[in-house]
Amino acid sequence: MTSKFLSALDSAMEQKGSMLCVGLDPATPEMRRDACVPQEYLSHPEGEAEGLLQFCKGIIGQTSQYACAFKTNLQYILPFSLGQMQELNGEVHKAGVQNILDVKLSDIGATNRASIHWAAKAGFDAITASPFTGNVEETAKYGRELGVGIIVLTLTSNPEAHFFMRDAQIGGLRGYEWIAGKVAQSGADGCVVGATGTTREEWMEIRKTIGEERVILVPGMGAQGGDGKAAVELGGKIIVNSSRETIYSPEPGKEAKRIRDTLNGLKKK
């Protein structure tokens, strides 16, 4: 399977020698006590949103040589204007990498299309989508038409995920198996599979179902307690997300390099 997003991601992974995806989650102190944006950015003369943008641009500048992608969580950049999102993506693309908008899209067709339209206009290369409205094929079709990759939540890290993604059955398949099948059938670009709690057998089943060319985006490293080791060792196209432990590190560039090198070491074993 080839798509605009997957082709560009392949190029970035090869050029950077990396499977690291840096998560841009610019939290303010009102959201949590630690792992948040320094006050100096929040006091920006052009406003808080501009300060958050400058923080993100600084992280991109320090980490992009070690990363193949960024994952920007929409919930943290809701104050951004369209122009600020375009500026953010301009910085990412200047570094030769991709930016995934983590929106977990889940609505009826027309609404999903509107979201994908604006994501494309803002310059994002891919978005995350939820399968629970059942219209994965329609969403993947819109993504192809608008040149935006679609990465579908398949087996997430949160403990509650087992209700729908493991315990629930659809046509004799466990939830995550059914979702992975929909990803393969629909022409979507990949799956989101959490690093925390996913077994080696589950990794193998998902990879076998979607094939080697689709990407598996692996969140849940570091602050969420996962390590992504089994996924990386099994091979295929994997990108592993690191957010808080990288962007709030005293030296984000050094931390990104450390994680990149650790992941590459796992791949060689």
* 78-119 pLDDT, tens digit each: 999 999 999 999 999 999 999 999 999 999 999 999 999 999
For the chain, the structural domain boundaries read 4-23+64-265
Fill in the amino acid letter for 243: S
Using the predicted structure, report yes or no on whether residue 268 has a pLDDT greater than 90. Answer: no
Residue 242 · residue 221 · CB < 8 Å = yes
112 vs 133: CA distance, rounded Å: 11
158 pLDDT band (50/70/90 cuts)? confident
Q: What is the pLDDT of residue 227?
A: 56
Q: What is the pLDDT of residue 1?
A: 67
161 pLDDT band (50/70/90 cuts)? confident
**pTM score of the predicted model:** 0.95
Using the predicted structure, report yes or no on whether residue 224 has a pLDDT greater than 80. Answer: no
Q: What is the pLDDT of residue 235?
A: 79
Phi-psi region of 168 (alpha: psi -120 to 50; beta: other; left: phi over 0): beta
For residues 176-181, average pLDDT: 97
119-146, pLDDT tens digit by residue? 999 999 999 999 999 899 999 999 999 9
> Crossing angle of helices 136-146/175-186, nearest 10°?
40
225 pLDDT band (50/70/90 cuts)? very low
Q: Domain spanning 4-23+64-265: which superfamily?
A: Aldolase class I (3.20.20.70)
* Maximum Cα–Cα distance across the chain: 58
Say which residue the tokens 């087992």 belong to.
Answer: 162
Q: Which tokens go with 121?
A: 């206009």
Cβ within 8 Å of residue 267, ≥6 positions away = 19, 232, 233, 235
For residues 154-162, average pLDDT: 88
For residues 246-267, average pLDDT: 95
DSSP conformation class of 45: T
Q: What is the pLDDT of residue 116?
A: 98
Residue bearing the bigger pLDDT, 165 or 269: 165
23-82, pLDDT tens digit by residue? 999 999 999 989 999 999 999 999 999 999 999 999 999 999 999 999 999 999 999 999
196 pLDDT band (50/70/90 cuts)? confident
The mean of the pLDDT values for the chain is 94
Residue 137 · residue 168 · CB < 8 Å = no
